[in-house]
Amino acid sequence: MTLRRMSGRERISVVLLNKPSFDELALKFLVLSLNKIQKCFEFEFQDLEEYPLKNGDLSEIEDIIHCFSRQIEKEELEGDYFVGITSYEIEENHFMVASKGGDISVITTKGWDKHFAPPSVFEYIIHSLTTALIMMADKTGTMDTHDPIRGCCLDYVYLKENVKVDIPMRYICNFCKSAIKKKLGSDFLECFEKINSFDWLGEVEIVGTIAWNLKKYFRTDLNKDTGLYKTRRERLKDYLLGLPKELTSLSLNTLVAAIMGFIIGLLLSAD
């Protein structure tokens, strides 16, 4: 009996295809949190011996998928589906490629951080992951994106910036809901709706929510951070903004101001 049958869930193996520009642990925390809020999928991260993509040389979809497949085979990775995440470009400026009815997808974060965040790169990845899962889990191979856009997670986004609209919409259109229900069943529809709603994140200000824990343990505030690694300058700015007001005003005192100025100067010059 396979693990899939034993657990009643499909295993989603998530793989970083090259060294990420975002906080890897924060992404793992968020994606693995999905295991607690739905019953269809068990998300797992695979730590590879080496990243399959060494640079941006491969950009053709076929080449990227082939390279990823080889790595899955070489490292004997297990899973019902494999989702790779890269920061390199995918052919013709795609955000994501998913094999309809198959088991491999690749998402790229290229361009998201600089041009479209917020929403954070994490919300973008989870949004793309949902779309990829819908297309792979449908074994008829007929679930597809649609044009024009409806604010739905299955919008075909010819213009990349439209994804920025889709993520906060948190919506699956009635057409797609009916198709998912018919081809995959009510349980899957419920799981996709739960993941895509982002309700499970909660609010950054509310103690104990996932968003609050993300800020507490990973220093990522979804109300203002992109999820990318922060420079020393950004970390310093966060620290200073987090100081109590009394201390901030005290820093105007000559002695404190002189010491802080010296430390800030040192940190900035080392950036």
Q: Least Å distance between CB 198 and Zn ion?
A: 17
Q: Is 173 in the site for Zn ion (CB under 5 A)?
A: yes
> Residue 12 or residue 154: which is nearer to Zn ion going by CB?
154
Backbone angles phi, psi at 139, to 5 degrees: -75, -5
Orientation angle between helical segments 174-184 and 186-197, nearest 10 degrees: 140
Of the candidate residues 98, 152, 184, 201, the single one contacting Zn ion (CB under 5 A): 152
> Residue 106 or residue 152: which is nearer to Zn ion going by CB?
152
Q: Least Å distance between CB 151 and Zn ion?
A: 9
Question: Which of 94-102, 109-117, 166-174, 199-207 is the region at the interface with Zn ion (rule: CB under 5 A)?
Answer: 166-174
Q: Judging by beta carbons within 10 Å of its beta carbon (0-12, 13-18, 19+), is residue 102 exposed, middle or buried?
A: middle
Q: Least Å distance between CB 264 and Zn ion?
A: 50
Q: Least Å distance between CB 257 and Zn ion?
A: 56
Q: Least Å distance between CB 46 and Zn ion?
A: 30
Q: Is 149 in the site for Zn ion (CB under 5 A)?
A: no
> Residue 72 or residue 135: which is nearer to Zn ion going by CB?
135
Size of the residue set binding Zn ion (CB under 5 A): 4
Of the candidate residues 15, 176, 189, 191, the single one contacting Zn ion (CB under 5 A): 176
Q: Least Å distance between CB 84 and Zn ion?
A: 24
Of the candidate residues 90, 133, 154, 204, the single one contacting Zn ion (CB under 5 A): 154
SS3 labels along the chain: CCHHHHHCCEEEEEEECCCCCECHHHHHHHHHHHHHCCCCEEEEECCCCCCCCCCCCCCCHHHHHHHHHHHHHHCCCCCCEEEEEECCCECCCECEEECCCCCEEEEECCCHHHHHCCCCHHHHHHHHHHHHHHHHHCCCCCCCCECCCCCECCECCCCCCHHHHHHHHCECCHHHHHHHHHHHCHHHHHHHHHHHHCHHHCCCCCCCCHHHHHHHHHCCCCCCCCCECCCHHHHHHHHHHCCCHHHHHHCCCHHHHHHHHHHHHHHHHCC
Q: Least Å distance between CB 173 and Zn ion?
A: 3
> Residue 164 or residue 235: which is nearer to Zn ion going by CB?
164
Question: Which of 4-12, 83-91, 172-180, 262-270 is the region at the interface with Zn ion (rule: CB under 5 A)?
Answer: 172-180
User: Rounded CA gap, 227 and 127, in Å?
Assistant: 15
Q: Is 169 in the site for Zn ion (CB under 5 A)?
A: no
**Binding-site ranges for Zn ion (CB under 5 A):** 152, 154, 173, 176
